């Protein structure tokens, strides 16, 4: 059965987690010239997360597990809250290559195993594409491979990265998903060639229980994933959306973010109401070696009891943290320095994947 036939839905990120999944950094080419600092950035993030929920960490081998455990222990991490899994990966961005969990009508989890092809940019993705199946086997969960029917009667597995979508869980009514046309509807990206908007919306309904899709325009400057929505626009409640804006008309982010805001202002909920929209500033441009990096406060991660927010030694850090603290009054909002980490072209949401807790209907 497909998830929709079994009444599966993709839960919102703020719903209870059983764990957070990450992969330990090992590919120095992702942070050329800065890699030495990255494991310690990971250790700080894991320290905060492990105070709230279990953290499952993929490592290349026993040697890396030993090294990671040592760094975590020196950073004050309770290793009893950590699970290590010796599953080699190409890269660490589990938001995109990890499993996308769904819950059935009885509140029990399953896994949707979408195809991962390294953002249609790299040739080495084969290890990362195995992540969902490995997690499903370990947890003994049902696993579904989303696909669409072709004209010749065959099926083609669908490509989808977790960072390209955000959902409101659908608890208080019909479920809504946000994404961008730049990422999912551009033919040149070669994620799902010749796949239409209607086909993608049907797949989101079939496999994630989605009833409505809000299509934004483009992502932020410096984003090498072709417009992932988790750098610009996020659900923070079933009827509330936070979206990044840039008032400086000379900045490359001004026009696309203004267009996204316009679309959201014109959009309506499935019940015909306006969305509650909250504007989030962008940090000043972060540039390293002449390259604009995808620095954004919107790449926060919502965990049990805490929200992890990337910060950039910027006066706007305080403003962004205050906005998010007001939106999450029952969670601690923690800023973690991201200037070195963003050189890898991702932040806290990109590196994490939540495993929802089983729920009682």
3-state secondary structure of 7: coil
Q: What is the DSSP letter of 57?
A: E
Strand pairing report for 291-292 and 287-288: antiparallel
Tokens in use for 264?
Answer: 């959201």
Report whether 148 contacts 199 (CB < 8 A).
yes
Task: Write out the two tokens for 142.
Answer: 């049902």
- Distance (Å) of CA 169 to CA 35, 174, 237, 273: 36, 9, 9, 17
Tell me what the mean pLDDT of segment 57-66 comes to: 98
Q: What pLDDT is stored for residue 186 in this prediction? A: 80
- Domains of the chain and any CATH numbers: 17-356 (3.75.10.10)
pLDDT at 4 over 60: no
Q: How far apart are alpha carbons 10 and 183 in whole angstroms?
A: 20
Asked if the model's pLDDT at residue 161 lies above 70, the reply is yes
C-alpha count within 13 angstroms, C-beta hemisphere, residue 246: 25
Nearest to 17 by CA among 336, 309, 303: 303
Give me 209's structure tokens. 């229980």
- Report the SS3 class of residue 11: coil
Q: 202-235 burial, b for 16+ CB within 10 Å, e for fewer? A: ebbbbbbbbebbbbbbbbbbbbebbbbbbbbbbb
pLDDT in tens, 214-245: 999 999 999 999 999 999 999 999 999 999 99
Give the active site residues: 350
pLDDT at 55 over 90: yes
Q: Which of 256, 249, 160 is nearest to 201 (CA)?
A: 160
The string of pLDDT tens digits covering residues 125-149 is 999 999 999 999 999 999 999 998 8
| Mean pLDDT within 58-84 | 98
Percent of the chain with pLDDT over 70: 96
pLDDT band at 172 (very low <50, low <70, confident <90, very high): low
- Residue 189's pLDDT is 61
| pLDDT tens digits, 280-337 | 999 999 999 999 999 999 999 999 999 999 999 999 999 999 999 999 999 999 999 9
**Each residue of 258-290: pLDDT tens digit?**
999 999 999 999 889 999 999 999 999 999 999
Question: Is residue 144 a contact partner of residue 3, using CB atoms and an 8 Å limit?
Answer: yes
**CA 205/CA 212 separation, integer angstroms:** 8
Determine the angle formed by the axes of helices 62-74 and 38-50, rounding to 10 degrees. 70
pLDDT, residue 6, reads 58
At residue 188, the 3 state secondary structure works out as helix
User: Which conformational region is residue 290 in: left (phi greater than 0), alpha (psi within -120 to 50 degrees), or beta?
Assistant: left
Q: Which residues pair with 73 in a beta bridge?
A: none
Q: Which pLDDT value is given to residue 193?
A: 86
| pLDDT score of 3 more than 70 | no
């Amino acid at each position: 059965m497909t998830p929709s036939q079994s009444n599966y839905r993709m839960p919102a990120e703020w719903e209870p987690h059983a764990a957070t999944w990450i992969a330990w950094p090992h590919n120095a080419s992702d942070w050329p010239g800065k890699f030495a600092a990255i494991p310690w950035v990971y250790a700080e993030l894991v320290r905060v997360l492990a105070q709230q929920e279990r953290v499952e960490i993929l490592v290349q081998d026993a040697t890396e597990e030993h090294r990671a455990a040592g760094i975590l222990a020196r950073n004050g991490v309770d290793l009893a809250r950590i699970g290590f899994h010796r599953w080699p990966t190409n890269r660490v961005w589990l938001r995109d290559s990890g499993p996308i969990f769904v819950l059935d009508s009885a509140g029990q989890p399953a896994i949707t195993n979408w195809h991962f092809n390294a953002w249609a940019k790299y040739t080495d993705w084969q290890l990362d594409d195995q992540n969902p199946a490995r997690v499903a086997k370990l947890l003994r969960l049902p696993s579904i491979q989303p696909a669409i029917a072709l004209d010749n009667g065959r099926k083609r597995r669908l490509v989808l990265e977790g960072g390209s979508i955000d959902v409101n869980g659908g608890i208080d009514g019909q479920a809504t998903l946000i994404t961008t046309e730049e990422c999912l509807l551009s033919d040149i990206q070669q994620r799902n060639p010749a796949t239409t908007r209607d086909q993608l919306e049907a797949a989101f309904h079939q496999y994630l229980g989605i009833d409505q899709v809000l299509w934004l325009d483009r992502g932020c400057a410096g984003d090498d994933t072709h417009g992932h929505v988790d750098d610009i626009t996020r659900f923070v409640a079933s009827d509330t959306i936070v979206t990044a804006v840039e008032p400086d008309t000379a900045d490359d982010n001004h026009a696309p973010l203004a267009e996204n805001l316009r679309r959201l202002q014109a959009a309506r909920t499935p019940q015909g109401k306006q969305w509650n929209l909250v504007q989030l500033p962008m940090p000043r441009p972060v540039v390293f070696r002449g390259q604009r990096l995808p620095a954004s406060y919107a790449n926060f991660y919502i965990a049990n009891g805490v929200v992890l927010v990337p910060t950039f030694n910027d006066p706007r850090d305080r403003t962004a943290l205050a906005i998010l603290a007001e939106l999450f009054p029952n969670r601690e909002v923690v800023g973690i320095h991201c200037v070195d980490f963003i050189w890898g072209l991702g932040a806290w949401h990109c590196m994490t994947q939540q495993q929802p807790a089983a729920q009682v209907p």
